[in-house]
Amino acid sequence: MTQQPIDVNTLNKAKANISLTQTLLTQAIEKSMSDTAMAEEAMKQAAVEIAQAQTSLSQVQSAMQTQSVSE
C-alpha cells in the first residue's frame, strides 16, 4: 500500500493559528499595564487559537496513525 502524504493544508492552518497566537500574546504583554481588558481579551483569543491549532495537529496525527495501522 502506498503511503499517503501528510495533510499540509491542515498543518498550515495550525501554523497560522500559532502565528496569530504569538501576535495576540504580544498584544497582551504590551497592553498588560495600560489596558487590562484588552490584554485579557487577547489572552482569551490566544487560548482559542491554541485549541484550534491543537485540533488541527490531532487530526493530522490521527490520520497518520490510521494510515500506519492499515498498512
pLDDT tens track, the chain, 71 positions:
456 688 899 999 999 999 999 999 999 999 999 999 999 999 999 999 999 999 999 999 998 888 777 76
> Is the separation of the CB atoms in 11 and 60 below 8 Å?
yes
28: number of Cβ within 10 Å: 20
Q: How far is CA 29 from CA 33, 40, 45, 51, 68, in A?
A: 8, 10, 14, 20, 42
User: pTM score, two decimals?
Assistant: 0.82
Angle between helices 8-31 and 36-70 (to 10 degrees): 160
**Which residue ranges make up each domain of the chain?**
10-70
Residue in the structure block whose three cell numbers are 496513525? 65
Residue in the structure block whose three cell numbers are 501554523? 15
